[in-house]
Structure 1
Amino acid sequence: MDQELEEYDIFTGIYEYNHLEKLRKDDNVGLGVESYCEQLGLKYKEYTQYIVKLCKHFVNFSELYNVLGRISGNNKHKACGIINYWINSDIRDINNQILDLDFYSSLTEKINSNLNITGCSLNLRKIKNEEFDNLKTLYELYNHFYKMNGKIKTTPTSNTCEHYCTHQKNCINVYNTNIEKCFNYRNSKFCKELQNFSDKFISDNTCKPCQYIDKLKPLPPRVESDTVFSDGPAPAREINQHTLQSELHSTNNEKSIIIPTVLCVMGAIFFFLIILYKFTPLGTWLRLRIQRKKIVSDNICEETFNEFTNSEYNQFNYQNSEFNIQYHSVLNS
């Protein structure tokens, strides 16, 4: 998982934004805003109509926000993150790769001229795909939780808990599907926010416990491969890897020194023996010894050969003489 740039706790008070979210689809704007949005849309010819509509929605929303905003002081600082998420969600229907920095900076400046948000500074930007998917998951979780919990508390009726278990089941399904991501990234912002949601969900007692539905899966146990998203010291596993790489590098360096040294020594010994053999009395003595041994060996071979030849010749004569005696014996009879 890449470094996380977004804030993941922006949806904890989503019920306070529920009435505002409906307003961001209103494109009834004045002439000044309409002219601005048309100029912005002309930069992206293939998507001009869509960009103009998107621009109208959010500039109009920024004007209504100050009038109709009823967000508590505790959650106003999350408004900027939610607005940026809404814009990124709406442009998912087009090729958002064409939207350059000028699009975000221009729209940021226009909306900021209307907004009066205390506690945060709106800075529209493209959210990376992986982070957007994680934020979308959290948005779905808290939206279901609000339907399960918030609406029941704010608008109690005689059948208050009728749909409680349905929304609770939706929460559990979304949560259990995504908690699997935390096997390798337990310390990520996303997984920490899943844990925060789990704590709120488990402690809810708005209605009686639901039967025949699954439970929330626990956060996976901590493993060595956990990635820490902080500026603190590197994990022990990374340190061990660095140490191992250093040792391997050191071993390779030693091998690269030892092998040439051994070859040089062997070459020097071989050259020294050649000098002794050719240019010293020791070499002369060795050559004489070798020649004498060769002469003796040749003599032995010659004598052996002669003896073998004589033996065969004698055997042949013996056989002939035996045959001649038998032949004469027959004639005399």
Structure 2
Amino acid sequence: MADVEDETLHLTARINYSTLDKGFNYKDEDRKCNELQRDLENRDGVKDFCIKLTGNLKNYDRLNIYGPFDNDTCTVLNFWMYNNFFNKITKDDDTQKIITFYSKLYKYWESAISREKCDIHTYLNVKANFNDLKKLYDYATNYESLKLYMAGKNNVCTENFKQYIDGMHELIKNAQSKCDSESHDYCFLLNYIKKKYTIQTLLELRCVIQGANTKAHVSQDQGTYATFTSSRSRSRNIAVVAFPILGTVFTFLMLYKYTALGSWLRSQLQKRNIIKHNQDDEEDELLSDIYDGTYTNYERGTQNIGYHPAQNYR
């Protein structure tokens, strides 16, 4: 079952950032890092960050960065740098102070590496957008790892994992809607990602929560089986009743047509018809008398309701 906390889930972006965190500690530039720390008002972690950043920039060609995009080392390094700057060093600062600190960091970057080799990505310098941009980039970087991992789990996942996948789909769609002009931050990143993946491809990753659909599927199968069993039971009951009746009727007809029993039954039926005919004649005569009596009285203008004991049978 796919889980975001699964230790066997090896995400490419996580590995890359871990490489840069451990990176090359370049202490030869200790003096410059001390200056940067003073410029950033002696914030906690600034010097340690500066030493790692300097080591990674100075040893740029030796960095082991992996991912689906060509020549991706500079992009990974930019995301790593901005993540430390926004979410650690200036985490609680207002916009104006962030701009001031950023200008000093920008100068330090340019002093450590040439623009031709790795320029600082200015489209990432808006703090309000950065975290979403990083999530998008990391998701695209991790796409193959996620796809392989989920396939190994038969695309069954925990609720947290499904929330992550669904959240990324929503973020991708939101980025598309914001990309109204080529100058928007999201457009730069989406165009970069599209060099490897289409948006539709990124939206293909899906999983189901364990037990959510499997129970429904089992229930549906049980319901279908119960309906089928009930139908078979009804058919069997009908057959049990119908076959003896049909057999009796068939036997009776054969006896009636080809044996002495048939002659006896016919004579009995003829007698019943004669008796019934006489009874019908008597009843017709009786009813005729009732009608005639009532009608005659009506003609005489007398209000009279004909009565006869035979009326009690109505």
TM-score by length of 2: 0.45
